[in-house]
Structure 1
Amino acid sequence: METKNLTCVVCPRGCALTVTVEDGKILSVTGNTCKRGAAYAEAELLRPERMLTSTVTVEDRRRMLAVRTRSAIPKDKIFDAMRVLYGTRVSAPVQIGDVIVADVCGTSVDVIASESLA
């Protein structure tokens, strides 16, 4: 049995969570003041995800285009996704929300433009 301490980031309250884990299963979550804290602890320990924000090169220009994932991707895919974005080049025009990389690293999540470029 193992005990992990987390700070919930779902709301501004920032509850100090204590999570008891055994054999990859959560046995208990304490310290949360709402049920969202328990859901956060489970997601963070069993399948952590993060939003990815970065930039890609714009061809024929001396600037970069800000991009982000449409939703969170598995934390263990972040560096793979960054390698894909490092080699990605786009051409103007680009509208905010345009798909820059579809289904990045097999996550079913698209990387989209965070800004427009004429």
Structure 2
Amino acid sequence: MKREDVIITCIACPNGCDIKITFGDDGNIASMEGYKCKNGVTYATAEVTAPERILTSSVAVVGGAFRLASVKTQKPIPKALLIDAVKEIAKVKVKAPISVGDVLLEDLAGTGVQVVSTCNVQAEK
């Protein structure tokens, strides 16, 4: 089944190219134009075939100087799993102290990707 042509703004480098992707009758990429570097081809292909995102969020902290700690995924996860991943993170409660880089979840939404702290939270005094 033929897909509509799309224009994607590439974020792989500072150029910010608008890449036009044309699909063939079989639904696969037939052509690409508008990219200025090979990173654009890689980014655009991934974006239309299997889009992924780094997820940033926060988790509840018990016994800490702050009630929340910011977190992120170590690697991108499939865009289709973002809602499930956010729901899973919302259930997490961690005990202070927490340091940047601490692994707070081992396998987010079955992706095998770790969720790590992006801040320090000292224990409550």
TM-score tier, shorter chain, comes to over 0.9
Structure 2 portions without partners, runs of 5+: none
Per-residue CA deviations over 1:40-95 (Å, capped at 9, x if unaligned) read: 11000000001110100011355201100011110011110100111100001112
Preserved contact between residue 24 and residue 46 of structure 1 (Cα < 8 Å): no
1:68 and 2:72 aligned: yes
* RMSD across aligned positions (CA): 1.3
Preserved contact between residue 3 and residue 21 of structure 1 (Cα < 8 Å): yes
TM norm structure 2: 0.88
1:41-56 mapped onto 2 (5 Å cutoff): 41-56=44-59
Instruction: Please tell me the residue identity of whatever aligns with 1:16.
Output: D
Deviation (angstroms), 1:24: 3.6
Structure 1 portions without partners, runs of 5+: none
Aligned residue number for residue 112 of structure 1: 116
Moved over 2 A (4+): none
Q: What's the % identity of the aligned pairs?
A: 40
Equivalences, count: 118
SS at match of 2:113: coil
TM norm structure 1: 0.93
